[in-house]
């Protein structure tokens, strides 16, 4: 076993290629985060960023990145023209050098290909190829655990080019570990953090989300404002189950992150007119790390006004799926009117998939960014409220 562990450590001793996945529109933000964590050769792509890294930076990215969904380490790249070839190539990878037969396994796949069009089948073929290799060599088979596997393997296929990676995150990094309750149409944490970072907010002002739902934007703003690493609340990471897990390095990085937490004099205000949403937000917000600095209340935005000049307002209003067209148009017009008349001296950003309704806001848009909220194409619009 020792030889195996040494092999593994050596493999990740120096710089090696890695790729972090993210959402469309957040690639450049992620690229800057990777640089901060010590990555080199950073190349933003489409919903991902490629880079070179050592093991320490992989740990740091998992702990500190607000916009990475997963951090993958490719271990094999090859061409496959059929499922048979895919099976054979995966079967040839020396899996026994990466993990023991007693460890559990899960496989993810993303497939963009005319040759391979069934992502479930790709997972099955990959699993068979790995399990069959262990059966042949050791007469034992690793078991599958879809929730918290020891080793999560990612297979990416673009036409006939296959990339097989180890998933160092193990589970999507948007699962920060702080959310006790998820509201209706809650934002993904990675998108929420990415939106705030896209505003270029320096954290030195109040943050306001007047349609906060379960409070995702407010929590992510608080984490940014107080330099709290988003990974501090989460126990499970894929790399912790790897044979080469360097526990003391990880503990040092966690300690460093805890010591770097600052205490902003500014606050986050989160409100919603729906009491049931605010109850959920409170469950998420009333935690040790918020130090009472996130103020939550039931309030109708159309009766509210700006508390402190210079605040940043970020809103994710309803997109109008369950409203009539003229009703949603009026709703967005009222948002614009309220901002114009009662939020002077601040900057507001609105995200919505309803392009028609966004036009009704009626304020000059000083920036417009394309983002996706799940499958919904959105615009994230900036308004300076002089
Ligand atoms: C898309 S959800 C926001 C989800 C939130 N960003 C999250 O991550 O949980 C829209 C929210 O706007 C709230 N809302 C709608 N009209 C409102 C109003 N006039 N004043 C305050 N909140 C309102 C709804 O109750 C709903 O919670």
The closest alpha carbon to 49, from 14, 10, 23, belongs to 23
Vertex 126, ends 125 and 132: CA angle to 5°? 85
List 16's β-bridge partners, or say none: 53
The answer, yes or no, to whether any atom of ligand 1 lies below 6 A from the CB of 214, is yes
Residue 5 — very low, low, confident or very high, per pLDDT cuts 50/70/90? very low
My answer on whether 156 and 289 are in the same domain is no
The answer, yes or no, to whether any atom of ligand 1 lies below 6 A from the CB of 300, is yes
The answer, yes or no, to whether any atom of ligand 1 lies below 6 A from the CB of 187, is yes
Region 10-27 average pLDDT: 88
In a mutational test of the pocket of ligand 1, which residue from 179, 187, 217, 272 has the highest number of ligand atoms less than 8 Å from its CB?
272
Residue 293 — very low, low, confident or very high, per pLDDT cuts 50/70/90? confident
Share the mean pLDDT of the chain.
92
Region 49-61 average pLDDT: 96
CA dist list (Å): 301 to 91, 113, 213, 276, 306: 58, 47, 12, 16, 10
Residue 332 in domain: yes
Share of the chain above pLDDT 90, in %: 82
My answer on whether 40 and 135 are in the same domain is yes
- The per-residue pLDDT for 34 is 98
The answer, yes or no, to whether any atom of ligand 1 lies below 6 A from the CB of 301, is yes
- The per-residue pLDDT for 340 is 97
Region 335-341 average pLDDT: 97
* Residue of minimum CA distance from atom 3 in ligand 1: 213
**What pLDDT digit, counting tens, does each position of 102-146 carry?**
999 999 999 999 988 888 899 999 999 999 999 999 999 999 998
- The per-residue pLDDT for 9 is 47
My answer on whether 115 and 206 are in the same domain is no
My answer on whether 38 and 155 are in the same domain is yes
My answer on whether 196 and 317 are in the same domain is yes
- CATH code, 202: 3.40.50.150
* Residue of minimum CA distance from atom 27 in ligand 1: 213
My answer on whether 159 and 214 are in the same domain is no
Stretch among 44-53, 89-98, 242-251, 278-287 having the lowest mean pLDDT? 278-287
Distance CA 164, CA 130 (A): 12
The closest alpha carbon to 37, from 19, 13, 63, belongs to 63
The answer, yes or no, to whether any atom of ligand 1 lies below 6 A from the CB of 318, is yes
Region 27-39 average pLDDT: 98
Per the structure, the complete domain to which residue 296 belongs is given by 189-227+263-385
Residue 334 in domain: yes
Region 301-317 average pLDDT: 95
Residue 250 in domain: no
Residue 373 in domain: yes
The answer, yes or no, to whether any atom of ligand 1 lies below 6 A from the CB of 185, is yes
Distance CA 273, CA 171 (A): 33
Residue 84 — very low, low, confident or very high, per pLDDT cuts 50/70/90? very high
Segment holding 113, helix H or strand E: none
- The per-residue pLDDT for 256 is 98
Residue 294 in domain: yes
Residue 3 — very low, low, confident or very high, per pLDDT cuts 50/70/90? very low
- CATH code, 108: 3.30.2130.30
My answer on whether 289 and 208 are in the same domain is yes
My answer on whether 193 and 108 are in the same domain is no
CB atoms closer than 10 angstroms to residue 280: 22
Residue 248 in domain: no
Please check the confidence at residue 245 and state whether its pLDDT lies above 70: yes
- The per-residue pLDDT for 209 is 98
Number of domains in the chain: 2
Residue 237 in domain: no
User: Which region holds residue 221: left if phi is over 0, alpha if psi is between -120 and 50, else beta?
Assistant: alpha
Q: Which atom of ligand 1 lies at the shortest distance from residue 280's CA?
A: 9
The answer, yes or no, to whether any atom of ligand 1 lies below 6 A from the CB of 182, is no
β-pairing verdict for 376-385 and 365-373: antiparallel
Residue 23 in domain: yes
My answer on whether 162 and 85 are in the same domain is yes
**Following DSSP, what letter does each residue of 127-147 receive, concatenated?**
HHHHHHHHHHHHS--PPB-SS
My answer on whether 280 and 316 are in the same domain is yes
- The per-residue pLDDT for 273 is 96
């Amino acid at each position: 076993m020792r030889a195996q562990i040494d092999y593994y450590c050596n493999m990740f001793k120096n710089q090696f290629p890695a790729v972090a996945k993210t959402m469309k529109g957040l690639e450049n933000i992620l690229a800057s985060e990777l640089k901060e964590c010590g990555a080199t050769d950073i190349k933003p792509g489409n919903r991902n960023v490629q880079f070179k890294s050592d093991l320490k930076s992989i740990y740091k990215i998992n702990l500190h990145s607000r916009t990475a969904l997963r951090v993958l380490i490719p271990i094999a790249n090859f061409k496959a023209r059929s499922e048979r070839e895919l099976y054979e190539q995966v079967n040839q990878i020396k899996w026994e050098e990466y993990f023991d037969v007693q460890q559990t396994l899960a496989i993810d796949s993303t497939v963009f290909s005319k040759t391979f069009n069934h992502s479930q089948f790709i997972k099955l073929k990959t699993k068979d190829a790995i399990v069959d290799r262990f059966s042949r060599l050791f007469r034992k088979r690793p078991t599958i655990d879809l929730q918290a596997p020891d080793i999560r393997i990612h297979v990416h296929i673009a036409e006939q080019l296959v990339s097989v990676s180890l998933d160092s995150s193990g589970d999507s990094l948007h699962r920060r570990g702080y959310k006790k309750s998820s509201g209706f149409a809650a934002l993904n944490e990675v998108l929420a953090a990415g939106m705030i970072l896209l505003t270029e907010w320096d954290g030195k002002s109040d943050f306001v989300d007047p349609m906060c739902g379960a409070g995702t934007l407010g929590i992510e703003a608080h984490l940014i404002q107080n330099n709290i690493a988003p990974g501090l609340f989460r126990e499970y990471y894929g790399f912790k189950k790897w044979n080469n897990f360097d526990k003391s390095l990880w503990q040092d990085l966690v300690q460093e992150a805890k010591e770097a937490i600052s205490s902003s004099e500014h606050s986050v205000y989160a409100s919603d007119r729906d009491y049931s949403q605010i109850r959920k937000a409170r469950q998420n917000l009333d935690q040790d790390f918020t130090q009472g600095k996130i103020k939550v209340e039931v309030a109708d935005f159309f009766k509210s006004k700006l508390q402190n000049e210079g605040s940043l307002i970020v809103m994710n209003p309803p997109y109008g799926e369950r409203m009539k067209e003229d009703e949603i148009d009026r709703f967005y017009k009222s948002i614009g009117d309220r901002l114009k008349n009662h939020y002077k001296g601040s900057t507001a950003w609105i995200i919505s998939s309803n392009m028609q309704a966004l036009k009704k806001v009626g304020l000059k848009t000083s920036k417009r960014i394309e983002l996706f909220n799940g499958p919904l194409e959105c615009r994230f619009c900036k308004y300076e409220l002089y």
